[in-house]
Amino acid sequence: MSGTAAVVEKPKTYWVAPISYPAPASSGKTGLWRTERPVIHLEKCVKCLYCWLYCPEDTILRREDDYVYVDYDYCKGCGICAAVCPTNAIDMVPEGGES
């Protein structure tokens, strides 16, 4: 078939979808407005690191021995870490409550 089809040129610019990674907020400390905070009971922790993996703010931090602790300056108190912990080692407590 003889062709008169138009030649479609490739676009000169390709847009690449931005990839973002969880990171502490660049401004403002969430501890100023958080209503609840996670308290980790290390005696129940089995070092599975689910909390570290799922925290959307990257505020579960790992010690050298793989136990975890919370960066309370930037934790927003969402409770995801407590929800995913398989041993219920994390309690969400009201600010000003149990430490």
Residues that bind ligand SF4 (CB under 6 A): 38, 40, 45-51, 55, 57, 59-60, 68, 70, 75-81, 84-85, 87, 89-90
Rounded distance between C-alpha atoms, residue 60 and residue 45, angstroms:
13
Q: Which is nearer to ligand SF4, 9 or 65 (CB)?
A: 65
Token pair, residue 86, equals 């398989």
Query: In the complex, what is the shortest distance from the CB of residue 96 to ligand SF4, in angstroms, rounded to a whole number?
Result: 16
Query: In the complex, what is the shortest distance from the CB of residue 5 to ligand SF4, in angstroms, rounded to a whole number?
Result: 55
53 burial via Cβ count (<10 Å: 0-12, 13-18, 19+): exposed
Q: Which is nearer to ligand SF4, 28 or 87 (CB)?
A: 87
Q: What stretches of the chain show up as alpha helix (H) in DSSP?
A: 50-54, 80-84
